[in-house]
Amino acid sequence: MTEFGVLLAATEHTLQPIEIARLAESEGLDALFVGEHTHLPLADHRYSNIGDEYKQLYDPFIFLTAAAAVTERLVLGTAVTLLTEHHPITLANEIATLDRISNGRVVLGIGTGWNVVEMGNFGLEFTDRWAIARERVLAMREIWTSDVAEFHGRFVDFDPIWCWPKPVQSGGPPILIGGGVKPEVIARRVVDFGDGWIPLDGGHELDITMRAVVDAAARAGRALDPLNLTVGLGLMGAENVTAQRIEEVIAMGFGRVLFVLNTNDRDRDLAAMELYTNLVATVR
């Protein structure tokens, strides 16, 4: 059965965590996902039309902890957290703590970011971003699954450590790969160190890439959980989302559909929530 949820660029101007979490759960939605940027450098970057929310975003894990405290069944996810902005030991501990507090409701969508200067502020080279992300995922899984964890790679290197709590979910929360453009590259990443894919409609050729992901998983002897194939709709506004498009992405194999709230305005987000919940009622 398809799950539906919302994806929020959360700032002080949007619906706040307790309010939106309670609203989403009371309206029968299944998931609440939030994005991440720790900051926005003043230097030039690739895009000229990004909104103020990029310099205002809340920390996703603090936001989701507040949401976890007032809900019972809502899936809590990131879309996406930027692994280039976290140390894997502290992030593994933070995510495992949230998974414990929420009783195993966490999903981790991951990416690396697109802003070269933003990455440079963390001492990282843009060209290394996905190699760094891969090692950080593997290191976190080692921490989540081993009583005594150690990892030795090019970008992540630590001798044996103790680190608790361990996540409620065996092996840790599902890790969904975001970012990327080329279908074969995305598919390779999913099979190599992920559990699924989390694109935004409008940023990818969904059907072509979905086939590449599913085929690559089959060749590797893996069957992907449909819930780990999660898509975000409404990047260009709630009014552009249709029941037909929802049905199309479900037919592609996406088991979870997220509706984007990105106006950076509480009242407009409430109006969009009403549009989305009405749409869900027509396709359920």
Give yes or no for residue 60 having a pLDDT over 80. yes
Reported as a single tens digit per residue, the pLDDT across 153-164 is 999 999 999 999
CA–CA dist 174, 107 (Å, integer): 5
Give yes or no for residue 175 having a pLDDT over 90. yes
Specify the higher pLDDT residue, 236 or 146. Answer: 146
- 180 pLDDT band (50/70/90 cuts)? confident
E strand or H helix at 34, and its extent? strand 31-34
Give yes or no for residue 1 having a pLDDT over 90. no
Q: Is the peptide bond before 80 cis (omega within 30 degrees of 0)?
A: yes
E strand or H helix at 191, and its extent? helix 183-193
Specify the higher pLDDT residue, 48 or 233. Answer: 233
Reported as a single tens digit per residue, the pLDDT across 76-90 is 999 999 999 999 999
Reported as a single tens digit per residue, the pLDDT across 129-141 is 999 999 999 999 9
E strand or H helix at 141, and its extent? helix 129-145
Domains of the chain listed by start with CATH number: 3-283 (3.20.20.30)
* Cβ neighbours, 10 Å, residue 202: 13
Average pLDDT, the chain: 95
pLDDT of residue 52: 78
Give yes or no for residue 50 having a pLDDT over 90. no
E strand or H helix at 117, and its extent? helix 116-120
Is 192 in contact with 110 (CB distance < 8 Å)?
no
Average pLDDT over residues 258-262: 95
pLDDT of residue 166: 98
Give yes or no for residue 75 having a pLDDT over 90. yes
Give yes or no for residue 183 having a pLDDT over 70. yes
pLDDT of residue 48: 65
Helix (H, G, I), strand (E, B) or coil at 77: strand
pLDDT of residue 225: 97
E strand or H helix at 213, and its extent? helix 206-219
Give yes or no for residue 62 having a pLDDT over 70. yes
pLDDT of residue 182: 94
pTM: 0.96
pLDDT of residue 45: 72
